[in-house]
């Protein structure tokens, strides 16, 4: 069985996957809701959020959970070369960062807009909103690449997972 599927059958790894994926999704949603006025607008955020972006956010969150758990697992067992581990951490971290700053909702502003000058922020947010689905897919691909580098899609002999 491949390593990421085997991790789903292991209680501690499954708990880490679900916790980190839920935390990623929850923090993302709360930050986006606060950016447009607070928790009272959370229901509106879910109403105007395109369904395909919600699916992409869920996939991104679960891939983040898999990647983080796989990195913890490979740190614990030293089962990956340092070069692959550092490239995986970089691509996975970059994928998570991209997903985190992309406004999934077309009416939302990105968190990055708060640190940029006003004129730059408006054009940057317009670009992010226009290509938000494509950028979320790109972040998913970066995280999948990170999982691949850590050996998540390779056969697992079962002796590494405790």
Separation between Cα atoms, residue 137 and residue 68, nearest integer Å = 18
Tokens of 116: 């940029």
Q: What's the whole-model pTM score?
A: 0.78
**Is pLDDT at 161 greater than 70 in this prediction?**
no
Q: Which of 151, 111, 146 is nearest to 128 (CA)?
A: 111
Q: What is the pLDDT of residue 108?
A: 66
Mean pLDDT of the chain: 78
Q: What is the pLDDT of residue 106?
A: 64
> How do the domains of the chain map onto residue ranges?
3-149
Q: What is the pLDDT of residue 18?
A: 93
**Is pLDDT at 73 greater than 50 in this prediction?**
yes
Q: What is the pLDDT of residue 22?
A: 95
Residue 96 binned pLDDT confidence (cut-offs 50, 70, 90): confident
Residues 48-70 have a mean pLDDT of: 89
């Amino acid at each position: 069985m491949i390593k990421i599927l085997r991790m789903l059958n292991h209680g501690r790894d499954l708990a880490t996957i679900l916790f980190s994926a839920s935390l990623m999704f929850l923090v993302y949603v709360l930050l986006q809701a606060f950016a447009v006025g607070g928790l009272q607008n959370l229901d509106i955020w879910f109403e105007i959020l395109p369904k395909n972006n919600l699916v992409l956010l869920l996939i991104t969150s679960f891939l983040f959970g898999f990647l983080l758990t796989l990195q913890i697992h490979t740190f614990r067992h030293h089962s990956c070369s340092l070069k692959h581990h550092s490239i995986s951490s970089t691509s996975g971290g970059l994928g998570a960062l991209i997903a985190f700053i992309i406004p999934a909702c077309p009416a939302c502003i990105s968190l990055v807009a708060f640190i940029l000058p006003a004129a730059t922020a408006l054009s940057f947010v317009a670009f992010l909103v226009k290509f938000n689905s494509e950028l979320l897919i790109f972040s998913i691909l970066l995280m999948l690449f990170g999982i691949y580098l850590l050996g998540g899609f390779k056969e697992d002999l079962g002796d590494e997972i405790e």
